[in-house]
Copies of this chain bind each other. A is one copy, B any other.
Amino acid sequence: MERNTRQREAVLAAIEHAGRALTPGEILALAQGKVASLNLSTIYRHINALQDEARIVKVLLPGHAARFEAACGGDESEHDHHGGAAHHHHHFHCHGCDRVYALHACPGSMQDLAPAGFVVSAHEITLRGLCADCSARRAT
């Protein structure tokens, strides 16, 4: 059972209210608005704990530090009878604002991309480009 500290609240709130994947540094900056003394070690400790509790998920993009977003399931107690991963999705990395957005679509199995004999158990897709805001701003 986890204790309900101000630090933990601040970390969780920052991630859940962001609406996108945040780096530990971004989480620190946001959460320090609530608890000024917050430390990066504490961020990392909560990030790890919250992942174990499946409250948040780690988002890994090729060539970038890890980011974290609120788990899709949210508060609903996932019955987990269909495998484990809450809701399979991918990410979009905007190189205008360096933000990462979740994409709620997936093209399905990629088994046919692999050579014969290879067994594909998972796939990750990362899109890069400009988000709606940045592409509108640039078109102006």
Contact = CB atoms under 8 A, between A and B. Distances in A.
A103 interface: yes
Given A124-B62, A128-B122, A103 B92 contact: no
A127 interface: yes
A13 interface: no
Q: On chain A, which size bracket covers the interface? A: 35 or more
Q: How many copies of this kind of chain does the complex include?
A: 2
Nearest to A120: B129
A114 B92 contact: yes
Interface in A88-110: 90, 92, 94-95, 101, 103, 105-107, 110
A128 B135 contact: no
A114 B129 CA distance: 10
13 contacts: A92-B118, A101-B118, A103-B114, A106-B113, A107-B107, A107-B113, A113-B127, A114-B129, A116-B132, A119-B129, A120-B127, A123-B126, A123-B127
